[in-house]
Amino acid sequence: MGHSARAFWLRAPHEGEIRAVDLPEPGPTDVVVRTLFSGVSRGTETLVFRGGVPRSQHAAMRAPFQEGDFPAPVKYGYLAVGVVEHGAADLVGRTVFCLYPHQTRFVVPATAVTPVPDDVPAARAVLAGTVETAVNALWDAAPLVGDRVAVVGGGMVGCSVAALLAGIPGARVQLVDADPARAAIAAELGVGFATPDAAEGDCDLVVHASATEAGLARSLELLAAEGEVVELSWYGDRPVRLPLGEAFHAKRLAVRSSQVGTVSPRRAGRGYAGRMAVALRLLADPRFDALVTAEHPFEELPALLPRLADGTLPALCVRLRYPTA
């Protein structure tokens, strides 16, 4: 077992690098994990990359195994899948998911890893954190049989929410995005698609995940009377104007937040581990492969993040593959 690893660090806003790091000696309750894949959570990680985490949210936005502080230098990320090389006998050799930054090997308490079910490929399991966010959102939103639902924003989170909504009997589910290319992904997920101006209205529920002011305004416009927008977007340091005139009061509309940092009060008894276990079971569904639209070697991450941040790499989830030894 090696005592060093390589990790991605944000040296300064808009400047990333891969550094050699020393691994701590594992304790009796720790595991050593060799990373197979990690995923780049585009919305949050590009916000961190550009230094857009507000000072008031520095503590709330910390990832579980983050090192350093915002805005930089910081080691950030939370979608890692690897194989346990050292630790408890029932975990050695198992493929596990962990909320760990982009790093070739790492040492964490055994309680921080979740075994990946045998019917879930390791490459797909990088989506576990994103699907966990979608699970929490639907626990908050509590959609009903036959509901008319729009998901505004076809990024990783929005597509995950749409995929789960597709399983509700009788529901009319439409993925709404300004990019017509998202129609192909919606078809793979088994839901309808529309651009914002063509979206069907009279919705009982709209889940907003576009992280744009225009998307949130359109979400309100799509609601039926007494309808609700569940807001999943994280805007960072950007102010957002919300149109609370027009029909907002007459139709008795509602906007509420949902955030993965807290387990939905509707299912608080499940806890974080229970919610993650649900997400990993759901990833047995091959439809989720549609969310991974690019794969690159880990070493390319410093060059990839600027392209994700400026939109020249139009990907959903970028999966990183790691050296085999």
- The pLDDT tens digits of the residues spanning 152-207 come to 999 999 999 999 999 999 999 999 999 999 999 999 999 999 999 999 999 999 99
Q: Which residue stretches of the chain have pLDDT < 50?
A: none
Tell me, what amino acid is at 80? Answer: A
Q: Are strands 95-98 and 80-86 parallel, antiparallel or unpaired?
A: antiparallel
- In the prediction, which pLDDT does 314 show? 82
- In the prediction, which pLDDT does 28 show? 96
- In the prediction, which pLDDT does 308 show? 93
Distances (CA, A) of 271 to 60, 136, 262, 317: 18, 11, 9, 26
- In the prediction, which pLDDT does 6 show? 98
Distance CA(76)–CA(53), nearest Å, equals 12
Distance CA(148)–CA(106), nearest Å, equals 44
- In the prediction, which pLDDT does 44 show? 86
Token pair belonging to 277: 């276990």
- In the prediction, which pLDDT does 237 show? 77
- In the prediction, which pLDDT does 325 show? 66
- In the prediction, which pLDDT does 270 show? 94
Q: How many CB atoms lie within 10 A of CB 194?
A: 19
- In the prediction, which pLDDT does 184 show? 96
- The pLDDT tens digits of the residues spanning 217-233 come to 999 999 999 999 999 99
Token pair belonging to 44: 């949050």
Q: HEC states along the chain?
A: CCCEEEEEEEEECCEEEEEEEECCCCCCCEEEEEEEEEEECHHHHHHHHCCCCCHHHCCCCCCCCCEECCCCCEECCCCEEEEEEECCCCCCCCEEEECCCCECEEEEEHHHEEECCCCCCCCHHHHHHHHHHHHHHHHHHCCCCCCEEEEECCCHHHHHHHHHHCCCCCCEEEEECCCCCHHHHHHHHCCEEECHHHCCCCEEEEEECCCCHHHHHHHHHCEEEEEEEEECCCCCCCCCCCCCCCCCCCCCCEEEECCCCCCCHHHHHHHHHHHHHHHHHHCCCHHHHHHEEEEEEHHHHHHHHHHHHHCCCCCCEEEEECCCC
- In the prediction, which pLDDT does 319 show? 97
Token pair belonging to 196: 């914002």
- In the prediction, which pLDDT does 26 show? 96
Distance CA(202)–CA(301), nearest Å, equals 43
- In the prediction, which pLDDT does 119 show? 98
Residues paired with residue 229 on neighbouring β-strands, in sequence order = 206, 255
Residues paired with residue 81 on neighbouring β-strands, in sequence order = 37, 97
**Which domains does the chain possess?**
4-119+284-321 (3.90.180.10), 130-265 (3.90.180.10)
How many angstroms from the chain centroid is the CA of residue 70? 20
